[in-house]
Structures are given as C-alpha cells and as structure tokens.
C-alpha cells in the first residue's frame, strides 16, 4: 500500500519570506557612486625642467586661502561668480588683450555630421590657450575646494555643451562613446574646450586665522 506523503504546512512560508525581506530591506543601500572625475598630472621626472614659461595673460590664478576666501585673478570673488568668469576667460569674447591668446586651430569632425561644418567635417576656429591655476592652502577646507573645482568643471562643461548643441543638436552628455562617429565628436569638442586646470603644490598662502 502506498504511503501517504504528509503535507507540509505552508502557512508560515509567508512569515519566513517576510522576515528575510525585511532583513534585506534594512541592509540595502542603493547609493550610486557619484563624483567629479579629474586627472592628476604625472609626477615630473627628476631631470625635467620644472618651470615652463607661460604668458601672463594666459593664466587665471584661482586662489583659496586658509579662511576659505576665494580670489580670482587678483580680486576677491564669490563662488557663484566664478563660473561666468571662467567662461569669459576661456572664450575671450571681446578679444581683450588681458584675456588668453586665441589660436587658430583645425579640428576634424566626422564628415557630414553637422550642417554648420564644411562637407569635409573640419572645424576651423580659435581655441583658447588659457590655463587656470588653482592654488590652495593646506588649511583650506576640502568642501570649499571641491565647490571651486565644481564651478571650474561646470564652466568647461557648459562651453562644451553649448558647442555640441549648436553644431550637433545634442547634449554633450548624451553622446554615445560606443558609436565611433560620436566618439570623434566628443574628442573634437574636448580639443576645442580643454579642461586646462593646473594645480600647483599647495603652500601656505596665509590669511588671517
């Protein structure tokens, strides 16, 4: 005679599942890592000449002192004005002799990618030779430093985005690097608006305690 298989009571299944569910609910952190990516300059070689002569007008000195005060190009400035100042510095809209030299450059874009470019896809225009020199004190707080970095990055991002919108009718961030043509566009725009931010060795800039 066939033995009857005893049925397992499934009534508590839900309770057990709930318990596990609540455990995972509590332990889950769904934070996505976000941040500002930057490239550090490689360490200079021993025999390499350290001082490179840069034309004075091509440098914008951004200084953060130990009391977190911001000085840009010799004047005290609020953090929120820095972005516009940086954009002005990199574009030199009025060809001012105090702002960086603009250099005639040719940049290759994929042919036929934009109506505003000649058929061969070469962009001819002026590219700024400007460099931003960011200096901070050892006692500057990191939060303030990052805010300043953020404004500088924001300025360059906006320039890139404006260019991309004008020529390719697309957000710079929406360019797909997997697509070779769009990758070339991205590289081209990067050549036109370089992220020229140099960070010097920190020193004690001073300022009142």
Partner 1 sequence: MSKFARKKGKGSQSINTASLPDIVFMLLFFFMVATTMRETEVQVRVTVPQATEVKKLEKKSLVSYIYIGRPVAHLARVYGTEPLIQLNDKLVSEEGIPYESIQDYVLFEREKLPESEKNRMTMSLRIDQNIPMGKVDDVKKALRRAKALIINYSARKEYRNQGRQR
Of 10, 74, 93, 119, which lies in the binding site for partner 1, with binding defined by CB under 8 A?
10
SS3 at position 82: helix
Residues 80-99 that bind partner 1 (CB under 8 A): 80
Q: List Cα–Cα distances, 58 to 41, 71, 84, 96, 207, in angstroms.
A: 19, 17, 17, 12, 26
Of 71, 150, 183, 187, which lies in the binding site for partner 1, with binding defined by CB under 8 A?
150
- CA distance linking residue 172 with residue 176, whole number of Å: 9
Structural contact between residues 167 and 116, judged by C-beta atoms closer than 8 angstroms: yes
Stretch that binds partner 1, among 47-55, 88-96, 141-149, 180-188 (CB under 8 A): 141-149
Q: What is the nearest approach in angstroms of partner 1 to the Cβ of residue 103? A: 26
| CA–centroid distance for 147 within its chain | 12
Cα 32-36-40 angle, rounded to 5 deg: 130
Residues 30-59 that bind partner 1 (CB under 8 A): 30, 32-43
Can residue 149 be called a binding residue for partner 1 (CB under 8 A)? yes
Stretch that binds partner 1, among 13-21, 91-99, 101-109, 113-121 (CB under 8 A): 13-21
Can residue 166 be called a binding residue for partner 1 (CB under 8 A)? no
Stretch that binds partner 1, among 26-34, 49-57, 95-103, 115-123 (CB under 8 A): 26-34
Terminal CA-to-CA distance of the chain, rounded, Å?
94
Residue 99 DSSP class:
S
SS3 at position 189: helix
Q: What is the nearest approach in angstroms of partner 1 to the Cβ of residue 114? A: 22
Residue 69 DSSP class:
-
Comparison of 2 and 32: residue with beta carbon closer to partner 1: 32
Structural contact between residues 152 and 86, judged by C-beta atoms closer than 8 angstroms: yes
Q: In the complex, which residues of this chain contact partner 1 (CB under 8 A)?
A: 10, 13-14, 17-18, 20-21, 24-25, 27-30, 32-43, 80, 136-143, 145-147, 149-150, 153-154, 157-158, 199, 201-202
């Amino acid at each position: 005679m066939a033995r009857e298989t005893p049925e397992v009571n499934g009534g508590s299944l839900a309770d057990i599942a709930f318990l596990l569910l609540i455990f995972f609910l509590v332990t889950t952190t769904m934070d996505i890592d976000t941040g500002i990516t930057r490239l550090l300059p490689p360490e200079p070689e021993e025999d390499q000449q350290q001082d490179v002569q840069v034309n004075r007008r091509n440098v914008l000195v951004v200084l953060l002192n130990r009391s977190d005060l911001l000085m840009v190009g010799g004047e005290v400035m609020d953090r929120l004005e820095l972005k516009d100042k940086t954009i002005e510095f990199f574009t030199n809209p009025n060809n001012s002799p105090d702002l960086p030299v603009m250099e005639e450059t040719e940049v290759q874009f994929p042919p036929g990618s934009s109506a505003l470019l000649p058929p061969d896809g070469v962009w001819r225009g002026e590219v700024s030779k400007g460099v931003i020199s960011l200096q901070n004190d050892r006692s500057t707080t990191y939060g303030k430093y990052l805010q300043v970095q953020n404004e500088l990055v924001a300025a360059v991002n906006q320039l890139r985005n404006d260019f991309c919108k004008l020529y390719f009718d697309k957000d710079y961030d929406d360019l797909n690097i997997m697509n070779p043509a769009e990758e070339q566009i991205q590289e081209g725009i990067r050549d036109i608006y370089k992220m020229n931010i140099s960070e010097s060795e920190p020193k004690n800039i001073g300022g009142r305690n």
